[in-house]
Amino acid sequence: MHRSDTPTICFYRLIEQARLPQRADRSAAGTLPTRAYRYCEAVTTATGHGWWVFPPTDLQFLWDGHDIFWQCTGGSDWLPLMPAAQFPNFSARFDATAPESLAGCSPPFLTALPEPGTLQIRTGLIARTALDWSLLIRAPANLPSPGGYALYEGIIETDRWFGPLFTNLRFTRSHIPVRLREDFPFAQVQPLPRIAYSEATLNTTANITDMAQFTASDWADYQTTIAAPNEDPDRAFGAYAVGARRRGRNRCPVTGEVRAARVEPVRSLVLSD
């Protein structure tokens, strides 16, 4: 486990116009229902897990069912994506900044993929994570998208791979422009310890196939979690959220361990949570 004063992730900006990543907002920029924001810690934790990533400029795409056309801020014409495009003026700035041995090696901004209606878009950023940490890049959690496209999810081993942060986009409608706004997140990156998705972890599972196999401890936990709270007509809402936040406050920032002396067990979880 790395020390708390060592960043889990460092973002490097390639395109100077690109907005820096922003911690994802637990309220999904105010779009979550108030009841979910107040009481559903599961939703708000997932929504706020990671950082929002923004397009480096306003973009519009048009897919005619075969070819992809695009335009960005200041452009008046639709440009065919055949098969790749540089961000405006980026290649010259890259060559002026990078070592001479890397002249001409600037990455493309957009690339049309062989699959119909799909493209790869680079964010204008590079990410480097701490040892044994990777990044999951996906659509923003619980934030409604503008529509017309869907993002593929991918896990990048950014502790080993130092290159432009990218994602793949698939259009879900044709003959109608699809817009990406530079002030609206179009992707979310979330840190993952590599062990979380390793074969050793994912292959170590167990299944209880019948309720008759539940242990007394299982039934006691069910009693505490579900039955007992719903027998109390005066119970407070959001007990799970309160307990989860309390555990977070008492978690050691270096080791991640809970300071047991200050932790109280969560006694209730109502169905409306």
- For residue 158, what is the domain's CATH number? 2.70.40.10
Whether 165 has a pLDDT exceeding 70, the answer reads yes
Asked if residue 136 and residue 252 are part of one domain, the reply reads: no
Asked if residue 224 and residue 120 are part of one domain, the reply reads: no
Asked if residue 140 and residue 79 are part of one domain, the reply reads: yes
Q: How confident is the model at residue 256 (pLDDT cuts 50, 70, 90)?
A: low
pLDDT tens profile 199-230 = 999 999 999 999 999 999 999 999 998 898 88
Can you give the residue range of the structural domain that contains 240?
A: 211-262
Q: Are 168 and 137 in contact (CB under 8 A)?
A: no
pLDDT tens profile 23-60 = 999 999 999 999 999 999 999 999 999 999 999 999 99
Residue with tokens 């979330």: 190
Single residue among 194, 227, 254 that ends a domain in this structure: 194
Q: How confident is the model at residue 239 (pLDDT cuts 50, 70, 90)?
A: low
In a 13 Å sphere around the CA of 108, the CA atoms on its Cβ side amount to 13
User: DSSP 3-state assignment of 63?
Assistant: strand
Is 43 within a domain? yes
Whether 236 has a pLDDT exceeding 90, the answer reads no
User: DSSP 3-state assignment of 249?
Assistant: helix
Structural domains in the chain (count)? 2
Element spanning 260, H or E: none
Asked if residue 256 and residue 165 are part of one domain, the reply reads: no
Asked if residue 188 and residue 85 are part of one domain, the reply reads: yes
Asked if residue 216 and residue 190 are part of one domain, the reply reads: no
Q: How confident is the model at residue 109 (pLDDT cuts 50, 70, 90)?
A: very high
Is 188 within a domain? yes
Q: Using CA atoms, how far apart are residues 205 and 111, in angstroms rounded to an integer? A: 39
